[in-house]
Amino acid sequence: MKTRESVLCVVTNNPEAERLCEGREIAVVQIDGMPLDVLDKAEALLQSAWKLVSAPLPPNIPMMRAPYRSLLLERNERRYDSAGILSIAAARERFTAQSTGERASAAREDFAAIDAAFLERALRDMSLL
């Protein structure tokens, strides 16, 4: 991860996310795990001069069961992003409450594309696409 050079960072377990960030000054932290692992890594970064830009929760309950999650972070002048840490904690509770014990696997490519579309929207909102 090129955190010293990059102002933006994507924490993700989605293999499609790296493609969206190619050619841009965006660090990608690829997580080998589930959405809760993405939240854990993002929370650690929020305690190291990064702030949360994208929403940690997906927009609907079916996406809570998706195997992928991507979060956009931005360099922060402050050491801690308290609001972001609280958002991650709330998201962790919702993910845990909505968990069915198994993640959807039959449509992994579809879920990857949907998660990538959410990330693309966050990048577009920041005028990066």
What does the pLDDT read at residue 3?
42
What does the pLDDT read at residue 108?
84
- 110 lies in a domain? yes
What the block records as the tokens of 4 is 């010293």
Q: What is the mean pLDDT of each run of 10 residues along the chain (129 residues)?
A: 70 93 92 96 96 91 87 94 96 82 68 93 83
What does the pLDDT read at residue 58?
86
- 3 lies in a domain? no
- 2 lies in a domain? no
- 57 lies in a domain? yes
| Cα–Cα distance list, 62 to 76, 93, 104, 107 (Å) | 32, 16, 10, 12
Domain with 54, as residue range(s), is 8-125
- 33 lies in a domain? yes
pTM for the complete prediction?
0.86
- 1 lies in a domain? no
Q: How many domains does the chain have?
A: 1
